[in-house]
């Protein structure tokens, strides 16, 4: 049995050497609190020297020299 939970976090990348935007969608929606919402990060995978991020908002690769940090709000 698996469970899913959501949390508000700040994902920070430092020492970025390059980014590659695969798609730029940026279609915001309005959430239940009438705030602009760009969606979730659905996938964050480290692959061959870079992070691959994907979500409702976009797909991108981040090349970095340090691991990202996650800060829970």
Asked if residue 36 is part of any domain, the answer here is yes
Residue 22 lies in a domain: yes
Tokens encoding 56: 């409702």
**Contact, 30 vs 36, CB < 8 A?**
yes
Which pTM value belongs to this model? 0.72
Six-digit token string for 60: 């991108």
Note whether residue 2 is domain-resident: no
Taking the C-alpha atoms of residue 36 and residue 15, their distance in angstroms, rounded to an integer, is 29
In a domain, 1, yes or no: no
Domain span holding position 40:
9-72
Residue 30 within a domain:
yes
Q: How many domains does the chain have?
A: 1
| Best CA proximity match to 20, nearest among 45, 47, 52, 49 | 52
Summarize pLDDT for 5-63 with one digit per residue, the tens: 778 888 999 889 999 988 777 778 888 889 888 788 889 999 888 999 998 888 999 99
Sign of CA dihedral 31, 33, 35, 37: negative
């Amino acid at each position: 049995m698996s469970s899913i939970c959501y949390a508000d976090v700040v994902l920070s990348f430092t020492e970025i050497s390059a980014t590659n935007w695969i798609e730029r969608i940026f279609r915001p929606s309005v959430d239940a609190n009438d705030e602009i919402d760009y969606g979730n990060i659905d996938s964050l995978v480290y692959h061959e020297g870079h992070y691959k991020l994907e979500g409702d908002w976009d797909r991108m690769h981040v090349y970095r020299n340090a691991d990202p940090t996650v800060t829970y709000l």
